[in-house]
Homo-oligomer: A and B are copies of this chain.
């Protein structure tokens, strides 16, 4: 048979060398969609006069969108209209007044890297299939490890901080008792981990997922600022031992979700060393302070941790998701713990150094190159630019605190140590009332507690930003 595109090859009713998809139409669609995205998302991202969200409740939004997938495809024009609708009704997380979550804003360099990623569509199990992205991940991990203060280490990017925390928990368990990988927990005494009452909810999710059980997460008391009390940690370790249970892990938090509290790592490390426990630091939110010479003291002692979770997708704006699990160990513990040695993927007789095939250190098989977007931002801004970003977030929080203090009807919960600013709005009807139990009962019925995180504030700070934003929640401001 002569190869060639002219002679049709039929198999099972399919013309193999016939047109499959309309390539030209597809290319044109991508081009037009990019133009739309540039206009409707990127160029409007910094425009404070645009809406954060065109809010519609679920039932109405379902009417407004054409969600149904049909037997035949839609026209290009219809598809572009759909793209427009998706953008129109989506929350603009890039908007200067998007305050809802632990991230916000648009980093142009990370965005470019993310579009490259989508176009190349890599999966980073092995070097042969993702050479560039695996070297980039190696370089980024090395720099992050330096920031933590370790001379060397290991690590892996995971799909989010919750997964990084889970992976750390599993790693600590493996170090404690490698047999569990094969034999499981059945028949063993209860394993106990300790974390503060203010920790992220992923600790409980992880304990349940890993078969440890949420009851075996012992919550250590916190002080008035939400920081773990090391004395109570030690007390609870002794107590767990007395119960016949087996402590194996302490999870400290650097930057709690609500108060932005930093656990005292040095003192906690002392306790861990005394008891031979793995110290994991969930710095998913607070880790970014490590790049600021001025503010990294908040994480003093982090170099004594055995593992650290840190999400550059939060304050450093790398894009959802970008979460590193960093590990101090250099004896290949991560690989020993996670590897399943699938022979179809991780052959040992390749024509290059297979230590670059790092995919077997992950719980995932297909894995996205999340380090790449952070690398591009770091390249674009330099370490000094990242530092400025963090310092600015701190300064914005400080500014908000000062404004809250000046303004009637606002009550600061406490002086922040990080960029979380917690405060109450006091409705006019309660402003003259004494701050007794009745006041607090009424307040929590009538209004909500606000948390603003500095870096979320309008980039061109404006003393009215807060009040203007709150007008969008009239129901709570009665």
Given A34-B115, A212-B211: A72 in contact with B11 (beta carbons within 8 A): no
Contact of A34 among B34, B180, B214 (CB under 8 A): B34
Check: A114 CB closer than 8 A to any chain B CB.
Answer: yes
21 contacts between A and B (CB under 8 A): A12-B394, A14-B394, A16-B399, A37-B115, A58-B353, A67-B139, A79-B380, A91-B129, A101-B129, A115-B115, A160-B365, A160-B366, A162-B365, A180-B213, A183-B215, A184-B191, A187-B187, A201-B342, A202-B340, A210-B210, A257-B344
Check: A68 CB closer than 8 A to any chain B CB.
Answer: yes
Number of copies of this chain that the complex holds: 2
Contact residues in B for A451 (Cβ distance below 8 Å): 344
Q: Is the CB of A43 within 8 A of B14?
A: no
Q: Is the CB of A383 within 8 A of B70?
A: yes
Contact residues in B for A212 (Cβ distance below 8 Å): 184-185, 211
Q: Is the CB of B111 within 8 A of A118?
A: yes
Q: Is the CB of A378 within 8 A of B118?
A: no
Contact residues in B for A82 (Cβ distance below 8 Å): 376, 379
Q: Name A128's closest neighbour in chain B (CB-CB).
A: B100
Q: Is the CB of B258 within 8 A of A344?
A: yes
Given A162-B363, A392-B14: A21 in contact with B344 (beta carbons within 8 A): no
Q: Is the CB of B214 within 8 A of A398?
A: no
Q: Is the CB of A211 within 8 A of B208?
A: no
* Contact bitstring A194-205, B, C-beta under 8 A = 1, else 0: 000000111011
A260-268, A425-433, A455-463: which lies at the B interface? A455-463
Contact residues in B for A136 (Cβ distance below 8 Å): 67, 86
Q: Is the CB of B118 within 8 A of A380?
A: no
Contact residues in B for A42 (Cβ distance below 8 Å): 27, 30, 119
Q: Is the CB of B118 within 8 A of A86?
A: no
Check: A135 CB closer than 8 A to any chain B CB.
Answer: yes
Q: In the bound complex, what is the Cα–Cα distance between A395 and B11 (angstroms)?
A: 5
